[in-house]
Amino acid sequence: MRNTIRKIGNTIRNKATKAYIAGKTALSAKKGEGYIDTALKIIISVVIGGLILAALYTLFNTTVMPTLTEKITGFFSYSGAAA
């Protein structure tokens, strides 16, 4: 009886120790990617994309994406009449 209680106690202690070590390891880990890193990457990619698009407009001196220009013009030239 005493051995059984000791085994159960040891099992519980071992599992608690493993959980403690796993938690401590997870909290002390220095790797990973944060929200600020991801946001910064997105902002940089949007800015670089805009610069490339502006360079294409300047280089070719024409509309690079005509369908997009037509749709944007269509959004802002609302005449008020039902289609």
pLDDT higher than threshold 90 for residue 58: no
User: Looking up tokens 């009886």, which residue turns up?
Assistant: 1
Q: How many helices (H) and strands (E) does the chain have?
A: 3, 0
Q: What's the Cα-to-Cα distance from 33 to each of 23, 38, 39, 47, 59, rounded to whole Å? A: 19, 7, 11, 21, 37
Predicted TM-score (pTM) of this structure: 0.40
CA atoms within 13 A on the CB side of 30: 0
Q: Average pLDDT in the 11-20 region?
A: 92
- According to the model, what pLDDT value does residue 45 have? 96
User: Looking up tokens 């997105």, which residue turns up?
Assistant: 42
Q: Average pLDDT in the 45-50 region?
A: 94
pLDDT higher than threshold 90 for residue 4: no
pLDDT higher than threshold 80 for residue 78: no
